[in-house]
Amino acid sequence: MQIHSFDIAGPLVVEPQQLGDERGYFAEIFREDRFFAKAGPVHFVQENQSLSAKVGTIRGLHYQTNPMAQGKLVRCLAGSIFDVAVDIRHDSPTYGQWIGVELTPRTLNQLWVPPGFAHGFCTLQPDTVVTYKVTNYYSPDHDKGLLWNDPQIGIAWPDVADANTLSGKDRVQPRLADLPPCFSVKD
């Protein structure tokens, strides 16, 4: 298993090694020791799964505020996604910057989105299934979002991204300029 970082501190890509033969393959999807060495100690308490039927479905950008902030380890089980994390730590030198990575079941890669980042994705194939482990329970009172296409952030969404697939909640999320400071690099 290899773990790679980005120019933005925090998010990581986990790339399991596949050992294959004529029967298929075997892969270690998660190893606590290697993950903790790069991400620090985390404790996963809940696992979520979503199905998006249509190509271009946009989900996000979502996050939870303290004390219920969540780190997410995201994986695509069927189809594929363009997965995004946006730095919303108000005192970060990379505040408002984003990273994006394609997640597929073929590569088995995963994206670690730590607390202090908004997360979202766009499906690239029909019937896409996404699962993610989180470090805190879902809390409606702490559930927040960021406008998916805020020009100040400038996410380069895939051409298939379809604003018609947004939930009612995601259509009216605030822009980065309107977010109160809720995360710090010191958290």
96-148 pLDDT, tens digit each: 999 999 999 999 999 999 999 999 999 999 999 999 999 999 999 999 999 99
User: What's the Rg (C-alpha) of the chain?
Assistant: 16
Residue 23 contacts by C-beta under 8 Å, 6 or more apart in sequence? none
SS3 content of the chain, % helix, strand, coil (to 5): 10, 40, 50
Run of H or E residues at 86:
strand 81-87
Check residue 151 and give its pLDDT: 97
Q: Are 111 and 74 in contact (CB under 8 A)?
A: yes
Name the pTM for this structure: 0.96
Strand partners, 122: 58, 82
Q: Which residues are catalytic?
A: 62, 132
Give the domains, in start order, of the chain with CATH numbers. 42-178 (2.60.120.10)
Q: Are 25 and 99 in contact (CB under 8 A)?
A: no
Q: What is the chain's mean pLDDT, rounded?
A: 97
In the chain (187 residues long), the average pLDDT of successive 10-residue segments reads 95 95 93 95 97 98 97 98 98 98 97 98 98 98 97 98 97 96 91
Q: Are 153 and 96 in contact (CB under 8 A)?
A: yes
DSSP string, 48-67: EEEEE-STT-EEEEEEE-TT
CA–CA dist 175, 152 (Å, integer): 8
DSSP state of 136: S
